Each structure stands twice: as C-alpha cells, then as structure tokens.
Structure 1
Amino acid sequence: MTADAGGLPPHELTRLERAIDRAANRVLEGAPARGVRAVLVECSVFLLKQAWACIFGALLLVVLVAARLWYPDDAILARNDALTIAAVVIQILLLVFKLETGRELWVILLFHVTGTVMELFKTDVGSWAYEGDGILRIGAVPLFSGFMYAAVGSYMVRVYRLHDLRFARYPSRLVTTVIAALIYVNFFSHHFIVDLRWVLLAAVLVVWWRTTMHFRVYRVTLRAPLLLVFFGVATFIWFAENIATWAGAWLYPHQEAGWELVSPQKLIAWFLLMIISVVMVTWVYPPRAPSEEPGPGLSPDAAPVPGSRP
C-alpha cells in the first residue's frame, strides 16, 4: 500500500502519530489481555485518542478562554482579530508539524467555507451576534468563526483514522447527501417558511437506524449504534459551545443581558449539523465495511506500511 498524491490514506498515521504509536506500544507491552487492568488500558487509550483527535478544537477553546480572562480591553489589536490570527497560527502549526495530512486539510477547508456561509446568514437574521470590533471580518462575522467549524472537521477526520472506523449497513451516500443538503437548506429556509427540522430528524432516524460503527481502541474493536455516536458528539459540542459563549466568542439573544446556559434545544441543531459533517467526510473518505482490510494504528501489531510515506 502506498500513499496517494493527496496525502496518506485515511487509516494511516502521520509521522508524529507513528512515533507516538511506537512509544505507546512499548509502554503497553505485556499489558494484560483480560481483567480490570485490561479494561483500564482500553479506557485510557480511548480517552487519549479522543484527546488527540480534539487537538484543533481544544487549542482553539483554550485561546478563546485565555482571551476572555487576560486579553486587555485597551489593546491596539482588536480581540477578534487576535483570535483570528491565533486560529491561523494553530492551523499552520498543525500542517508544519505534519499533524494533519493534505487530504484532511481539504475536508477542513470545506467545513470552514460551509460554516462561514451559515455564519453570515445567521448573524444577519439575528440568531446570534459577535462583538463589533476588528477588521478581520466579513460583514458582522469575524474570520475566526469559520475555524470553529473547521475544528469539528479536524476532529472527524482524525477520529476516522485513529480508531480505524468501519460501518456496518451504512446507507447509500447519494441518499445521505440528499438528506444532508436538505438539512443545510433548512438552516436557512426555516426563517422564511415552515421549519422542517423534525421531518428531517425523522428521516435521519429512518436512514441511519440500522448503521453500526466499529471502532478499534487498543486490542479490542467495539461497536455502537451510529445515531448514538452522533448524539454523543453533538452533546460534547454543546458543552464546548457553552464554554465558548461564556468566553464571549459570540452571544445568543438571551445571553446579551448576562451569560446563561445555551438552550438544550440546540442539541437538535448540533445533531443535524453532525449529519452534514459526516456526509462531507464520507465523500472524501468513503465508509468502509468491517470486513475490509484493517489499517495500522495503536494496536499490538502496529507497524509502518511498506512503501508508505513516513
């Protein structure tokens, strides 16, 4: 197997990840295959993989909180512009240190554009608002906002290869694309015509109801209903959204007089946004069935693929 011109195949690791993989396997050599310690090893590896997959979003969230706590109000550089520059620096560092592949960058850029278009519309109709300072903006939308969507894309492509994701009974990509497109349109159109989110939610449940995600941790491969995974990730994003709004990244109308918890109803919006996100990723990394050949990763027999790019 060799790397294609667009970057590493989705199930391979970057150079740094290979180094981490080798070091981790040395530490875990001799780890028991059964018992409480074995369960603790699997849980630890799972959490570490998730943390690594979240690195873009975690760094961005740290920057948002730091800006809220310590950025001076009288600084020459506007706070929003500083956030945009910081987001750009994070993205550049991920590429320079080869923490993302070129192929992944295309997915992240797609998330960036898709999110920015939505931001422009939503701020115009008053769904949420940003502070008015700064020059690195398009209309009322500071440019760092697109990186928040890019962070979701970064997580999804990373978790895809770190866990060597496989899908049983994954629906037709054409069908899922139509549903994702309708969901995206409804984010705009419900301001003018009837809101179809509940109809679209029902369609999502019907189409993905039988789909199971298989994900490898260390020695074991687990499986879970894909819809449950969607909801879990949406919940995690909702928690991150509460931190971001507390940090003043943006505000919903009910938060203008003082910060309040983001409405739990936003979980439905994030759940539907997850569908758009997953479908975009599947057009770059087609879903693989559990029966297909596994790729290397954090496993007892992980090893570089002959002929692959380091």
Structure 2
Amino acid sequence: MLLQALDQHLINPPARPGLVGMRRFGLEFWYFGVKNARACLFVVLFFAAVFLVPRAGVFGLPRYDVLLLVAIAIQAWMLWSGLESADEIKAVCVFHLVGFALEVFKTSSGIRSWSYPDPAFTKLFNVPLFAGFMYASVGSYMIQAWRLFKLRIRHHPPYWMATLIAVLIYANFFTRHYIGDYRFYLAACALGLYARTSVVYRPFDRERSMPLPLAFVLIGFFIWLGENISTFGGVWRYPDQMGTWSVVHVGKWSAWSLLVIMTFTIIIHLKHIKARIHVSV
C-alpha cells in the first residue's frame, strides 16, 4: 500500500551523516512538516468532509449525519489498513466518549456555551454524535505522531500525579460554571509538574528534543486554528458568532492546550507507548 510505504520511509529515512548547516536544517524541517501532515490524516480527511458536505446535506440526509458516517468510515479504514491498532482504536473511543460528555454539558440549556444549529437524526441531548470525533481526532493525531516521530519521553512525572492533574483539568471544564474557572492555576500546576519533562523526537535521521509543555501549547494552538475553521464553516457556533462570524477568542487556546494534556495522559497508558516513557523517581 502506498501510504504504508510512505510511513516506512518517514519512520526509517536514509541516513545522511554528512548533511550539515542550513541544508540539514531545511531537510529536517521538511520531514518534520511532512510527518505532522501525515499524522493529521484523520483530521485532514474529516475536515475536508466538513467543507465538502453541503449544509443542506446529501440525498436528504442531514449534514451532521453524513459527517458521522464519514468519520466512522475513516476510522474503520484506518483500523482495516493497520494505520491504527485495535488498542489505539479503544483509546480513540475513550476520547470520543470524554468529548461527547463535555459537549452535552456545554450545549445544555443551563450552560449554552455553544450550539449545533442544524437538524440531524443522530442528535443526542442536542449534540450530533459526530461531535465526539472532533476530540478523537486529537488523540488520533498524537498516536500517529508517536509512531512516525519515534517519540520518547524523558523525566515524565509519576503516573498518579499526571492522572490527577488530567482529571482536575477535565473537571474544571464543568465546575467553572459553578465555582469559578481555575484553568490558569491548573496550567501553573501542570507547568511545574512537567517542567523537567522533554519529548525526544526524530524528524529525520537524528533525535531532537523539546520541552513537553511547549509541545502541549503548540498542539493547542493548531487545534484553536481548526476551531476557527469549523465555526467559519458553521459546524457549530458560539453565542457571539450567531449574527456574523468572528475569530474564536484566543482564550480558547489555553483551554485546548489543557485538553491536550488530558489527551496525552490517556495515550501514555497504551502499552507500546508506555514502554518509551522514562518516569522520574
């Protein structure tokens, strides 16, 4: 399969030990971009459907229902082709459930943080079932990136600490409507917890590293860009976008970065990933 051949090349590119200076930087930067683009396979295919499926739907089937079928088809194809394992699909399903529960709460009549204005047969509690796949796409990207970049984690905090901060981050998305928003306190705690943690990755034939908190922030930024694309396409709308579209508030960037931490914590419990993590003692 062509895609599998591409993956093998990206994972094990030919060594170029004599490459130095700007030529090495340029080649590593190119492979870094290609690997990230490849890791976004589910995201790209899904958001292509978001823009290509007419708002009126297809053959009488509402748009949200079509998007659900597309998301399921993409996920099934990735499993069938071996691009994701059964264990990884289970993790993606966890992301779907966690995201859908959050969507139900945020769109409820008492909260109304955002809404899904179009009709659908597959709406549950006013949330279309495809919505969970938008969260699952983040997990899919991180799983694919782990494999393509041969990621390793150095000085990861004890698992119980990482799990605790992830649970508190998720809880804050709910409790902020009742007892206040503590995201920045949680962000400070997470920054302290992961201060010594670095992610080792291989863009080309040599390992590089970056602080793990920086990776969280960068991924959160690109999710925020994707959120702007989705709201522009009318997939969902925030209250201030009902009359005319406007850029999603930059404060959402911090919320997405925290959600990335939670997603990362779920992923590290996969057996083949856990084996590449060095936990601090």
Q: Normalising by structure 2, what TM-score?
A: 0.90
Match of 1:123 among 91, 98, 107: 107
Q: Deviation at 1:107? A: 1.1
**Is the Cα contact below 8 Å between 1:16 and 1:98 reproduced in 2?**
no
Map of 1:49 onto structure 2 = 35
Match of 2:65 among 81, 100, 111: 81
Does residue 171 in structure 1 map to residue 152 in structure 2? no
* Separation in 2, partners of 1:51, 1:256: 32
* Separation in 2, partners of 1:24, 1:176: 31
CA displacement 1:93-115 (0-9 Å, x = unmatched): 21222221112111101101110
CA displacement 1:213-257 (0-9 Å, x = unmatched): 111122111111111111000001000110011111110111011
Q: How does 1:295-306 map to 2 (within 5 A)?
A: none
Q: How does 1:248-263 map to 2 (within 5 A)?
A: 248-263=234-249
Question: Which runs of 5 or more residues in structure 2 are unaligned?
Answer: none
| Letter matched to residue 77 of structure 2 | L
Q: Deviation at 1:262? A: 0.2
Between Structure 1 and Structure 2, the one with more helix by share is 2
Q: More relative contact order in 1 or in 2 (CA 8 Å, sep 6+)? A: 1
**Is the Cα contact below 8 Å between 1:123 and 1:141 reproduced in 2?**
yes
* Separation in 1, partners of 2:160, 2:58: 52
Q: Please, what is the CA RMSD of the aligned residues?
A: 2.3
Change (3 A) 1:32 1:71: farther
Indicate the SS of the match to 1:167. Answer: strand
Indicate the SS of the match to 1:127. Answer: coil
Q: Among all aligned residue pairs of Structure 1 and Structure 2, give the percentage whose two residues are the same amino acid.
A: 35
* Separation in 2, partners of 1:137, 1:101: 29
* Separation in 2, partners of 1:66, 1:31: 44
**Is the Cα contact below 8 Å between 1:16 and 1:99 reproduced in 2?**
no
Match of 1:36 among 18, 22, 37: 22
**Is the Cα contact below 8 Å between 2:10 and 2:148 reproduced in 1?**
no
CA displacement 1:3-34 (0-9 Å, x = unmatched): xxxxxxxxxxxx86652245569985768522
Map of 1:154 onto structure 2 = 140
Match of 1:243 among 221, 229, 240: 229
Change (3 A) 1:56 1:26: closer
Q: Deviation at 1:50? A: 0.6
Change (3 A) 1:93 1:18: closer
**Is the Cα contact below 8 Å between 2:11 and 2:148 reproduced in 1?**
no
* Separation in 1, partners of 2:142, 2:156: 17
| Letter matched to residue 286 of structure 1 | K
Change (3 A) 1:60 1:73: closer
Map of 2:191 onto structure 1 = 205
Map of 2:44 onto structure 1 = 58
| Letter matched to residue 105 of structure 1 | I
Q: Deviation at 1:271? A: 1.1
| Letter matched to residue 239 of structure 1 | L
Bigger drift between 234-243 and 92-101 goes to 92-101
- The number of residue pairs the alignment matches comes to 275
* Separation in 1, partners of 2:125, 2:11: 50
Change (3 A) 1:261 1:126: same
**Is the Cα contact below 8 Å between 1:181 and 1:276 reproduced in 2?**
yes
Question: Which runs of 5 or more residues in structure 1 are unaligned?
Answer: 1-14, 292-310
Match of 2:274 among 286, 290, 294: 286
Map of 2:251 onto structure 1 = 265
